[in-house]
């Protein structure tokens, strides 16, 4: 329910930003005018109860993508965060991206640690197709409210159409983060160490995780899709070295779930 309530806020932000561009001049207005698409969806998944945790819980998150209509996207992943495409010619797509971050409480294994506030991450993305069956995508985002660091995600997905309506896909993932990010989610200062019983830990920046992901996607109708997906990531670097992970968590993180999306086309 928290994810559903945040969707109007994000859409309003995107539209206000678009209107601001339109007011900048006739050239900007020409860019805004035309055919657009809005993809909305939701994901339900079983995943660790917190990043680095070893207990698993059921959760949900939104899928949102907004951009100018162009050549139909050859591949879309449920890992793609909220996106506003500014460049989209079929072979290359780039623009703005954002991600919701829910709060992390200080319950159970996290008792004694300072809670992490809800917030988000905002930045840019770039994706391209080295071949007709492979897409590479990179995102660089900066934290808002929840943390004050940077996160970079890189993924490559090979895809194959088993039938005209069923596609299988999968590939490697790698993630990096700055010291400020790791400090918010994996750091343990002296006061927290005394309150939680965990060893004190002050992380730097670097590699966060490596892993693999895959999905089976079904094109239910022309605008609607559904998919079954699975992800595995292994925490690395400052995340793996954290006392939270070593003493109470697990470096191996698994996620399995289902998602569905629907695409709306409109003209501005």
Q: What is the pLDDT of residue 71?
A: 63
3-state secondary structure (DSSP) of residue 187: coil
Q: Which of 67-76, 136-145, 242-251 has the lowest mean pLDDT?
A: 67-76
Q: Is the pLDDT of residue 3 over 70?
A: no
DSSP-H helix ranges across the chain? 2-22, 26-32, 179-186, 190-196, 237-241, 243-248
Write the DSSP assignment of 145-174 as a string of letters: SS-S-EEEEEEEEEEEEEETTEEEEEEEEE
pLDDT mean over 38-46: 91
Burial of 190 (0-12, 13-18, 19+ CB in 10 A): exposed
Q: Is the pLDDT of residue 20 over 50?
A: no
Q: Is the pLDDT of residue 11 over 60?
A: no
Q: What is the pLDDT of residue 64?
A: 80
Distance, in Å, from the CA atom of 127 to the CA atom of 123, rounded to the nearest integer, reads 14
- Those residues whose C-beta lies under 8 Å from the C-beta of residue 199, and which sit 6 or more positions away, are 188, 193, 243, 247
Q: What is the pLDDT of residue 220?
A: 94
- Those residues whose C-beta lies under 8 Å from the C-beta of residue 23, and which sit 6 or more positions away, are none
Q: What is the pLDDT of residue 144?
A: 97
Q: What is the pLDDT of residue 70?
A: 64
More confident residue, 168 or 86: 168
Distance, in Å, from the CA atom of 8 to the CA atom of 38, rounded to the nearest integer, reads 13
Q: Can you read off the two tokens belonging to residue 12? A: 């309003």
Whether the full predicted model's pTM is greater than 0.95, yes or no, is: no
Q: Which of 43-57, 85-99, 138-152, 238-252 has the lowest mean pLDDT?
A: 85-99
- Those residues whose C-beta lies under 8 Å from the C-beta of residue 109, and which sit 6 or more positions away, are 50, 53, 55, 244, 248, 249
Q: What CA–CA distances, in Å, run from 229 to 40, 103, 136, 218?
A: 18, 25, 18, 12
Residue 72: pLDDT band with limits 50, 70, 90: low
Q: Is the pLDDT of residue 12 over 50?
A: no
245-268 pLDDT, tens digit each = 999 999 999 999 999 999 898 887
**Average pLDDT value for the chain:** 87
Q: What is the pLDDT of residue 63?
A: 82
């Amino acid at each position: 329910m928290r994810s559903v309530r945040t969707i109007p806020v994000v859409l309003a932000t995107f539209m206000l930003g678009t209107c601001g561009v339109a007011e900048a001049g006739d050239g900007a207005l020409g860019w805004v005018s035309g055919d657009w698409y809005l993809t909305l969806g939701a994901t339900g998944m079983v995943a660790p109860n917190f990043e680095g945790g070893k207990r698993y819980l059921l959760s949900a998150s939104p899928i949102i993508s907004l951009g100018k209509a162009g050549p139909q996207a050859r591949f879309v992943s449920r890992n793609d965060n909220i996106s506003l495409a500014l460049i989209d010619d079929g072979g290359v797509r780039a623009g703005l991206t954002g991600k919701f971050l829910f709060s992390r409480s200080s319950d159970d294994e996290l008792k004694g640690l300072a809670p992490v506030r809800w917030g988000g991450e905002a930045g840019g993305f770039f994706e391209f197709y080295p071949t007709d069956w492979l897409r590479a995508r990179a995102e660089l985002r900066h934290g808002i409210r929840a943390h004050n660091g940077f996160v970079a995600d890189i993924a490559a997905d090979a895809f194959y159409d088993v039938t005209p309506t069923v596609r299988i896909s999968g590939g490697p993932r790698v993630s990096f983060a700055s010291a400020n990010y790791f400090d918010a989610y994996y750091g343990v200062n002296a006061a927290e160490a005394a309150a939680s019983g965990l060893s004190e830990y002050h992380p730097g920046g670097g590699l966060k995780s490596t892993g693999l992901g895959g999905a089976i996607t079904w094109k239910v109708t022309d605008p609607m899709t559904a998919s079954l997906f699975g992800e595995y990531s292994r925490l690395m670097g400052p995340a793996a070295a954290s006392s939270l992970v070593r003493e109470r968590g697990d470096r191996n993180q698994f996620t399995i779930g289902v998602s569905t999306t629907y695409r709306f086309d409109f003209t501005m």
